[in-house]
């Protein structure tokens, strides 16, 4: 650390993204990306946009907002686009957490990092014994509430009515529903932003839309909240969405059938792999996301992670005490998952 680093930040522990080792080719099942490449139409749109990169992109992000507004049945002033949904989460911590924040003890690891970066005091509410969010514990908390739904890394989802009960019980506090994985659960709370002025629903192009590399996230809320978020955006980087990502994003939204097909395939594979893992004696949470969260009495969480890495398969292991026997496994193609199952079988049988 240099002597110039802001003393207020000297205990900041940055978020650790999933590893991307370069020394060999891996089957990559550790960062919940989409297993399927973007469509040809997306590639063509990017190529077309590339000729104008001498110009700044549209800071209002008008075309994308209009398209998304039409899809979601909202006004375009109820939508904001950001450089990945990580950016919108950071903006929310900057804009709306003066009174502090709460989120589960086991959830997306970036929430505590953004809280510390923004000097926000936070409280973690423990998940229940079976790794669920108990909505009752989120009522009248007096702070901004962050809930990933489905939650990560458990994949377990709250029902819409349960979310709505939390939103209703906190009229003077903001509730942020992070729907990074909601396309795989088939249930979104986004229409609720038309009813509640204390709700922000975030989403991303990184999971169901085959576009983690373009860094495109978004949020829905009432116009006043989106206007505040735009104040932060225009005070940070008005050109946060580059022209190539904008063009790709638009092409993705124009071909929703392609996304829907990939979501369908991913969910089908998830359910198939879950059954196969159960046959091998694994316990799997009821994941509604594009990953499974699994553990087994036959092999420790760390041994499974290390053994698979040695054999060319990357999954995500967390060192947090409560979940160290688990691993999070992203859903790849059927062919990739067949190799995973075969390798796990060999490892478990050899023990």
- The site for ligand PMP (CB under 6 A) is made up of 84-86, 108, 148, 152, 178, 180, 204, 206, 212, 217
| 83/170 with CB nearer ligand PMP | 83
| 103/196 with CB nearer ligand PMP | 103
Calpha distance 50→269 (Å, rounded): 35
| 154/296 with CB nearer ligand PMP | 154
Nearest approach in angstroms of CB 207 to ligand PMP is: 7
Q: What angle do CA 237, 182, 288 make, to 5 degrees?
A: 140
Q: What angle do CA 43, 49, 52 make, to 5 degrees?
A: 155
| 245/296 with CB nearer ligand PMP | 245
Q: Which two tokens stand for residue 94?
A: 């900057």
Nearest approach in angstroms of CB 55 to ligand PMP is: 25
| 206/266 with CB nearer ligand PMP | 206
- The DSSP bridge pattern shows strands 199-204 and 175-178 to be parallel
- Closest residue to ligand PMP, based on beta-carbon distance: 84
Nearest approach in angstroms of CB 30 to ligand PMP is: 11
| 84/307 with CB nearer ligand PMP | 84
- The Cβ of residue 48 has, within 10 Å, a number of other Cβ atoms equal to 12
Q: Which residues contact 318 (CB under 8 A, 6 or more apart)?
A: 153, 324, 326, 328
Nearest approach in angstroms of CB 39 to ligand PMP is: 19
Nearest approach in angstroms of CB 266 to ligand PMP is: 15
Nearest approach in angstroms of CB 348 to ligand PMP is: 28
Calpha distance 244→303 (Å, rounded): 41
Contact criterion met (CB below 8 Å) for 225 and 197: yes
DSSP string, 210-275: S-GGG--EEEE--HHHHHHHHHHHHTT-TT-S-HHHHHHHHHHHTTHHHHHHHHHHHHHHHHHHHH
């Amino acid at each position: 650390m240099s002597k110039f680093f802001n003393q207020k930040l000297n205990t900041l522990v940055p978020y650790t993204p999933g590893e991307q080792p370069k020394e060999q080719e891996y089957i990559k099942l550790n960062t919940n990306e989409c297993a399927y490449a973007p469509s040809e139409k997306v590639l063509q749109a990017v190529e077309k946009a590339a000729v104008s990169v001498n110009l700044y992109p549209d800071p209002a992000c008008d075309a994308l907002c209009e398209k998304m507004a039409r899809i979601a049945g909202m006004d375009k002033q109820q939508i904001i686009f950001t450089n990945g949904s990580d950016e919108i989460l950071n903006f929310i911590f900057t804009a709306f957490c003066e009174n502090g924040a709460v989120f589960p003890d086991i959830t997306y690891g970036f929430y505590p990092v953004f809280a510390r970066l923004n000097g926000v005091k936070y409280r973690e509410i423990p998940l229940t014994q079976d790794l669920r969010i108990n909505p009752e514990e989120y009522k009248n908390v007096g702070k901004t509430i962050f809930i990933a739904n489905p939650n990560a890394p458990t994949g377990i989802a709250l029902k819409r009515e349960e979310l709505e009960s939390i939103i209703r019980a906190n009229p003077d506090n903001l509730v942020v529903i992070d729907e990074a994985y909601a396309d795989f659960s088939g249930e979104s709370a986004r229409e609720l932003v038309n009813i509640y002025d204390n709700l922000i629903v975030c989403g991303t192009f990184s999971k169901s839309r085959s576009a983690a590399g373009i860094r495109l996230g978004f949020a829905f809320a009432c116009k006043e909240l989106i206007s505040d978020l735009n104040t932060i955006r225009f005070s940070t980087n008005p050109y946060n969405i580059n022209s190539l990502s904008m063009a790709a994003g638009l092409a993705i939204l124009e071909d929703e059938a392609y996304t829907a097909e990939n979501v369908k395939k991913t969910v089908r594979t998830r359910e198939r792999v879950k059954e196969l893992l159960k046959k091998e004696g694994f316990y799997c949470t009821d994941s509604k996301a594009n990953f499974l969260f699994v553990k087994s009495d036959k092999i420790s969480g760390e041994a499974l992670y290390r053994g698979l890495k040695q054999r060319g398969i990357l999954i995500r292991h967390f060192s947090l005490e409560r979940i160290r026997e688990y691993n999070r496994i992203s859903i790849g193609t059927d062919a990739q998952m067949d190799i995973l199952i075969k390798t796990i079988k060999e490892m478990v049988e050899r023990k």
